[in-house]
Amino acid sequence: MITEERYFWRIEWAGTWMTTHRRLTRQAVQMEHPEAVPVEGSRQLLLTPETPEERRMVSTRSRTISSDVVFRV
């Protein structure tokens, strides 16, 4: 499975600090905001199945194991 860690981020925008409205990967946010800091407790794992076997495993289970793990099907 492909695993991505995503967070809400604190970024500096127009001289003030604000929180992003959606979760982003570290690579995505740091392209525009190298000063970005992840918000504590906002981590989410996005799991994407690669093989047919992994897809079957995900479809037979609940797609959400917990609030911080999400399957992309």
Enclosing domain of residue 27: 2-71
What amino acid occupies position 26?
R
**Are 38 and 32 within 8 A, CB to CB?**
no
**Confidence tier at 68 by pLDDT (50, 70, 90):** confident
Tens digit of each residue's pLDDT (9 = 90 or more) over 2-60: 899 999 999 998 999 999 999 999 999 999 999 999 999 999 998 888 888 888 877 77
Whole-model pTM?
Answer: 0.75
Q: How many structural domains compose the chain?
A: 1
